[in-house]
Chain A
Amino acid sequence: MHITVDPQKLPELAMQKSAGYWQTVGRRFMQQKVAVAAALVVLVLLVLAVFGPWLAPMDPYQSSILKRLKPIGFPGHLLGTDELGRDMLSRLIVGTRLSLFIGITPVICAFVIGSVIGITAGYAGGWVNTSMMRTIDVFYAFPSVLLAIALSGALGAGITNSLISLTIVFIPPIARVAESVTTQIRGRDFVDAARASGAGAFTIVRVHVLGNVLGPVFVYATSLIAVAMILASGLSFFGPWC
């Protein structure tokens, strides 16, 4: 049976299909109460990160010796004040931006570098894979907190150095996920078919491997954002030397 489609309507049909996909995603998403609640929290955080300085009720850097260490609910300071008399609520709101930045940036960097390492190792296979993954294994011998603190302790204080050390901490796990998925994809029939039809390694990776690998790696990487934030807060707790 043949279904005839008016060629004039093809672009329109294609548009409809993509809209349908997002509709499905939206409908499924709305059914999950937990997901909607979590999305709302993320939305609030994003709004705070973007508009924080305008939303904060007071200047987060304004200190006051008279109003030091006031408890929650102190008049004028909803969440009280810190040891220098600065408004806690304002500091929390303004700090959202830095927290999100330090949570997301190292994960993005590690996502790019780790994926390149993992896909290269997985696609090349053989001794390249072995040598690359054994090198990655060495970094697995360090508990992540230890590695982060040791690296930023050695590099010295500062946000840039924290970002670098967190990136290095996250590269090995991302590379491992990317490597294992790539190795699975490499043995599939469609990759063989592509190779048989004359596609080069770069084309195969770009067309067939990337699309299949980036999904799982991306999902894994997003879970690392929370870890990055907690590690970064730990680093800054550790003092001005990290």
Chain B
Amino acid sequence: MLVFLWRRLLYTLPIMLGVALVCFALVHLAPGDPLVSILPPDASAELQAKLKELYGFNRSYPEQFVSWVWRALQGDLGTSIASNRPVFSEVMMAVGNTLRLAMVATLIGFLFGCLFGFVAGYFQNSWLDKLASLTSVLGVSVPHYWLGMVLVIVFSSILMWLPPGGAGPGGSGDWAWDWEHFKHMLLPAITMSVIPMGIISRTLRALVGDILAQEFIVGLRAKGLTDFGIFLHVVKNAAPTALAVMGLQLGYLLGGSILIETVFSWPGTGFLLNSAIFQRDLPLLQGTILVLAMFFVFLNLIVDVVQTLLDPRISRS
């Protein structure tokens, strides 16, 4: 087991380096001078050169990359060109907000996805199954920002039950787990939860069907086990895959919630990316993408490890 862990960890290192390289290249792929957004149009050549030196853009690419990675390892992702604040603290605050939202959304999606998936898997080809399948297909095919806007129209504009956006009365900085704040989270979380719900319920439907068709279920039934007892066995067999899918979905939501966060003005990473792109704030863009991708790599790692711990059948070669 320990060998497996080590190998999995070692395998993650080159991926991380590659991710850093892609993030670095991404920014230098951008056409135009990265400093164009802060330089006045009539800036002198001397000022341009001075700023270039200040941000390190005058050095060669490999040199810039190495120093960028070295400083990133120490938690220094540079300074945002637009706000002049350290990128790291801005990203971390946004990641905190996004993580909260994504976790609540994944939880909602997981609960309903499991419910629909088990119902559909147990009663395959019944109308219940068709209803659950329809819901999950709709969930993965509807554009989520559209769903968000519709929810805002219905629940904020017409019914006036929930606030249409923002992260609470205190702004983005302070969060508390009370109803006042939770109210702001409800609509974006429900909008986001539709994605994992659809995927988890589809995965589970197929999985439960497969498990129920296996011989050991017949064996258990012949042994005289109750339906509930058999259900527990099905849950135990379906759990590793379901959890793995859930973990990956959490990762996707961390980075993929950009549009939903924009709709709801949720002060998370998506919102930050939006403003970074809008203001052509390259260090911020670079830092945000790097942190998000690293989270995703870590989540993949954790999913793999947890899956191996839960399911001893997975070979550890």
Chain A positions near chain B (C-beta within 8 angstroms): 134-135, 137-139, 141-146, 149-151, 153-156, 226, 230, 233-234, 237-239, 241-242
Q: List the B residue with the shortest CB-CB distance to A242.
A: B277
A233 surroundings in chain B (CB, below 8 A): 143
A142 touches B145 (CB 8 A): no
16 contacts between A and B (CB under 8 A): A141-B19, A141-B300, A143-B256, A144-B252, A145-B252, A145-B255, A146-B256, A149-B273, A149-B277, A150-B273, A154-B29, A155-B29, A156-B31, A238-B262, A238-B277, A242-B277
The interface residues of chain B lying within 8 Å CB-to-CB of A238 are 258-259, 262, 274, 277
Decide: B258 and A239 in contact? CB cutoff 8 A. no
Q: Do B259 and A234 have beta carbons less than 8 Å apart?
A: yes
**Chain B neighbourhood of A156, CB < 8 A:** 30-32
Q: Are the C-beta atoms of A150 and B252 separated by less than 8 Å? A: no
**B27 interface hit (Cβ, 8 Å):** yes
Most chain B C-beta atoms within 10 Å of own C-beta, residue among A150, A155, A230, A242: A150
With A138-B19, A138-B22, A237-B145 already in contact, the answer to whether A145 and B259 are too (CB < 8 A) is yes
The residue that A226 contacts in the complex, of B30, B141, B258, B296, with Cβ under 8 A, is B141
Tell me if B26 counts as interface (CB < 8 A to partner A): yes
Whether the Cβ atoms of A234 and B285 lie closer than 8 Å is: no
Task: List which B14-31 residues lie within 8 A (CB) of chain A.
Answer: 14-15, 18-19, 21-22, 26-27, 29-31
Shortest distance between the CB of B20 and any CB in chain A (Å): 9
Interface centre among A151, A153, A226 (most CB of B within 10 A): A153
Give Cα A241 to B297, complex, Å.
28
Please determine whether B22 and A142 come into contact, CB atoms closer than 8 angstroms. Answer: yes
Inter-chain contacts of A138 with B (CB < 8 A)? 15, 18-19, 21-22
The answer on a CB contact under 8 Å between B277 and A142 is no
Which chain A residue shows the least CB distance to B141? A226
Complex: how many Å from CA A128 to CA B290?
Answer: 27
Task: Tell me the smallest distance from the CB of B121 to a CB of chain A, in Å.
Answer: 20
Nearest CB to that of B277 among chain A residues? A153
Q: Which residue of A lies closest to B300 (CB)?
A: A141
Chain B nearest CB from A178 CB (Å) reads 20
Distance, CA A154 to CA B32, complexed state (A): 10
Instruction: Indicate if B197 sits at the interface (CB-CB under 8 A).
Output: no
Residues of B within 8 A of A242 (CB): 277
Find out whether the CB atom of A139 lies under 8 angstroms from the CB atom of B22. yes
Complex alpha-carbon distance, A140 and B289, angstroms: 13
Task: Find out whether the CB atom of B14 lies under 8 angstroms from the CB atom of A134.
Answer: yes
B189 at the interface (CB under 8 A from A): no
Known: A138-B18, A138-B22, A239-B278. Is A146-B293 also a contact (CB below 8 A)? yes
B292 contacts chain A at the CB level, 8 A cutoff: yes
Query: Is B105 in the interface zone, CB < 8 Å from A?
Result: no
Cα separation A153 to B262 with both chains bound (whole Å): 15
Shortest Cβ distance from residue B49 to the other chain A in the assembled complex, whole angstroms: 24
Q: Taking the nearest CB of chain B, how far is it from the CB of A228, in angstroms?
A: 13
Which of A146, A154, A230 is B30 in contact with, Cβ under 8 Å? A154
For A142, list chain B residues within 8 Å (CB).
Answer: 19, 22, 255, 289, 292-293, 296
Q: Nearest CB to that of A239 among chain B residues? A: B278
By a CB distance below 8 angstroms, the chain A residues around B292 are 142-143, 146
B167 at the interface (CB under 8 A from A): no
Given contacts A226-B141, A238-B274, A241-B277, contact A145 B256 (CB under 8 A): yes
Contacts of A155 in B (CB 8 A): 29-31
* A95, B59: Cα distance in complex, Å: 46
Contacts of A141 in B (CB 8 A): 15, 18-19, 293, 296-297, 300
Q: Which residues of B contact A151 (CB under 8 A)?
A: 26, 29
Tell me if B143 and A230 are in contact (CB < 8 A).
yes
Chain A residue with minimal CB distance to B263?
Answer: A237
Interchain CA distance A155-B259 in the complex, whole Å: 19
CA distance A151 to B32 in the complex (A): 15
Q: Is A154 in contact with B278, judged by CB distance below 8 angstroms?
A: no
Chain A CB within 8 A of B283 CB: no
Question: Beyond A139-B22, A144-B256: 20 further Cβ-contacts under 8 Å?
Answer: A135-B18, A137-B15, A137-B18, A138-B18, A141-B15, A141-B293, A142-B19, A142-B289, A143-B251, A150-B26, A151-B29, A153-B276, A154-B30, A156-B32, A230-B143, A234-B143, A234-B259, A238-B277, A239-B274, A241-B278
